[in-house]
């Protein structure tokens, strides 16, 4: 694949974020003769039907946002003026139950027709500085340009359990006719020079829960098919998760079709060597922080409870491909394991038997799992002496990969699913683990730091493969919420819907 387009788009994005006031035309500000007010409408249901993957939408979640700053830009292209001001949290109240920020925000403005309003909530300093140094003629393009940041730069969980998340206009169509001579109070009262701007969070969130243990402290059973019968072979004693293959770029204001910047959008891995050369376009920093999965009895009506109470927040920047393709069979060719955001689940387990006997160890220990007989051995030599390959599980840890937003949850040979797994901003992607029906893998090759052990059997996760292959390891229920809610639940059986 030719990479010229990748490099050009990346250079443009990097150049945009690297520029400073000396590189920009002079910005005329505050040739003001009036006041204008802005009401900010925060996200409710995000209508994305027929866009990049609006699967099983079901309700909304208000979130747990905190407001640090609100920066408003009024762009008067006719007079070449950008009026802007940043309001600290002391200047406004929290968001009300209707998602409206009160009181209205008033700022000095330059009279004129079709003045465009832009809002940035909790803006990242570098992005705000670039916008403030941009002329009226170039402002719309700058606001729609790509920013080179990772999710941690624009979203964080605070010590008080609130989240500070960057938000921007959901569209470039908020126009106001600014009349001259309107006082600050009249603007605040909404009787003149007023516009309401709707904003969206620039990130997605990922969240995971697990069905509680049947007996507290007893763990979860792990099964394998032995002689055609599903048989318990181990017990999971701990489950943690993280998120990998997030984006390193985003459009400051989303594109109308939710397409992400071109480096990731057009990337198509052809083999591991090619992927490992260019995977630095993805953000894997989330894999440095694994979090215990929250025990919860799956109930679509109460998902907001564990979501609001979670002790962490895992943010990702959206990743998607061919968003205009409505034929999922055609789109499937563009969603590969090496270009799609995923949950990585790490499950610590204890075998029921090792070398044919109940193990004497009391903590998870490195064991070798026979590929054919599905038994655990204390050494590779003992396993291979049975005429089979063996997989080494270091310190009793096995791993699973699950896509954040699979299009469908049932797979047949004639209709393999999932085909696509797009992520877009302002959504929460939630996966619920029902049961551990199969053993996981010893490593995740979609993590550049987690290489295969060549002594093990071939890892079934290949970066160039489509999302669905015939390997099933985990039973999950998936619920996707944005700050708009999507929900679906399933249990995996062969041939399954995972990697």
194-238 pLDDT tens trace: 888 999 999 999 999 999 999 998 999 998 888 888 899 999 999
pLDDT at res. 62:
80
Peptide bond before residue 495 is cis, with ω within 30 degrees of 0: yes
Dihedral sign (CA 370, 371, 373, 374): positive
Q: What is the token pair recorded at 205?
A: 């969130």
CA-based nearest residue to 282, from 301, 269, 297, 298: 269
% residues pLDDT > 90 (the chain): 63
CA atoms within 13 Å, Cβ hemisphere of 454: 0
pLDDT over 50 at 14, yes or no: no
pLDDT over 50 at 16, yes or no: no
Alpha helices in 243-367 (DSSP H): 262-265, 272-278, 304-309, 328-331
Q: Which of 58-62, 144-148, 292-296 has the lowest mean pLDDT?
A: 58-62
pLDDT at res. 55:
63
**Predicted confidence band at 477 (pLDDT cuts at 50, 70, 90)?**
low
pLDDT over 50 at 20, yes or no: no
Q: What is the pTM of this model?
A: 0.87
pLDDT at res. 484:
54
pLDDT at res. 299:
87
pLDDT over 90 at 286, yes or no: yes
CA-based nearest residue to 480, from 385, 341, 358: 341
* 411-422 mean pLDDT: 87
Q: Which of 104-118, 122-136, 328-342 has the lowest mean pLDDT?
A: 104-118
CA-based nearest residue to 117, from 164, 171, 69: 171
CATH fold of 4-202: Immunoglobulin-like (2.60.40)
In whole angstroms, what is the distance from residue 146 CA to residue 252 CA?
6
pLDDT over 90 at 242, yes or no: yes
Longest Cα separation, the chain: 90
- Other CB atoms within 10 A of residue 410 CB: 12
pLDDT at res. 428:
87
> Would strands 220-226 and 229-244 be described as parallel, antiparallel, or unpaired?
antiparallel
Check if the beta carbon of residue 283 is closer than 8 Å to that of residue 150: yes
Task: Report pLDDT digits (tens) over 116-158.
Answer: 999 999 999 999 999 999 999 999 999 999 999 999 999 999 9
Task: Report pLDDT digits (tens) over 376-405.
Answer: 999 999 999 999 999 999 999 999 999 999
Residues of the chain with CATH 2.60.40.2580: 4-202
* 440-445 mean pLDDT: 95
* Helix, strand, coil percentages in the chain from 3-state DSSP, rounded to 5: 20, 35, 45
CA-based nearest residue to 61, from 363, 490, 485: 485
């Amino acid at each position: 694949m030719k990479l010229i387009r990748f490099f050009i788009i990346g250079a443009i994005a990097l150049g945009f974020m690297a520029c400073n006031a000396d590189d920009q035309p002079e910005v005329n500000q505050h040739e003001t003769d009036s006041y204008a007010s802005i009401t900010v409408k925060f996200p409710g249901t995000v209508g994305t039907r027929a866009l990049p993957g609006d699967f099983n939408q079901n309700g909304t979640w208000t979130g747990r946002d905190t407001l640090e700053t609100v920066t408003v830009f009024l762009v008067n292209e006719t007079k070449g003026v950008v009026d802007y001001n940043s309001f600290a949290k002391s200047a406004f109240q929290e968001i009300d139950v209707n998602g409206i920020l009160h009181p209205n925000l008033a700022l000095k403005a330059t009279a004129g027709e079709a003045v465009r309003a832009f809002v940035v909530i909790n803006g990242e300093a570098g992005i705000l500085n670039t916008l403030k140094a941009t002329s009226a003629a170039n402002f719309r393009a700058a606001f729609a340009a790509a920013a080179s940041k990772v999710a941690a730069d624009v979203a964080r969980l605070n010590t008080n359990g609130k989240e500070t998340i960057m938000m921007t206009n959901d569209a470039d169509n908020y126009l106001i006719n600014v009349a001259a001579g309107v006082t600050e109070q009249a603007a605040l009262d909404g009787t003149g020079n007023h516009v309401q701007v709707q904003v969206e969070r620039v990130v997605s969130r990922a969240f995971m829960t697990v069905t509680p243990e049947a007996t507290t402290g007893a763990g979860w059973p792990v099964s394998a098919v032995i002689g055609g019968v599903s048989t318990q072979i181990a017990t999971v004693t701990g489950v943690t998760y993280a998120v990998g293959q997030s984006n390193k770029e985003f459009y400051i204001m989303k594109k109308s079709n939710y397409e992400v910047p071109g480096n990731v959008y057009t990337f198509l891995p052809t083999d591991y060597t090619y992927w490992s050369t260019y995977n630095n376009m993805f953000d894997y920093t989330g894999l440095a922080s694994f979090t215990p999965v929250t025990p919860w009895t799956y109930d679509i009506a109460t998902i907001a409870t564990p979501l609001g109470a979670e002790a962490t927040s895992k943010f990702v920047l959206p990743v998607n491909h061919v968003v205009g393709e409505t034929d999922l069979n055609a789109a499937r060719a563009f969603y590969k394991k090496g270009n799609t955001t995923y949950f990585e689940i790490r499950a610590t387990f204890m075998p029921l038997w090792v070398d044919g006997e109940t193990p004497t160890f009391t903590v998870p220990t490195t064991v070798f799992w026979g590929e054919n007989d599905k038994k655990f051995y204390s050494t590779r030599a003992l396993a291979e002496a049975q005429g089979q390959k063996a997989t080494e599980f270091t310190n009793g840890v096995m791993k699973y990969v699950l896509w954040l937003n699979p299009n469908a949850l049932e797979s047949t040979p004639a209709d393999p699913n999932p085909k696509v797994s797009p992520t877009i901003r302002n959504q929460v992607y939630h996966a619920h683990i029902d049961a551990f029906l199969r053993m996981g893998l010893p490593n995740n090759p979609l993590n550049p730091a987690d290489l295969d052990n060549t002594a093990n059997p071939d890892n079934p996760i290949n970066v160039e493969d489509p999302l669905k292959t015939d390997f099933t390891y985990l039973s999950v229920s998936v619920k996707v919420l944005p700050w708009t809610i999507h929900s679906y639940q399933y249990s995996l059986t062969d041939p399954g819907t995972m990697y």
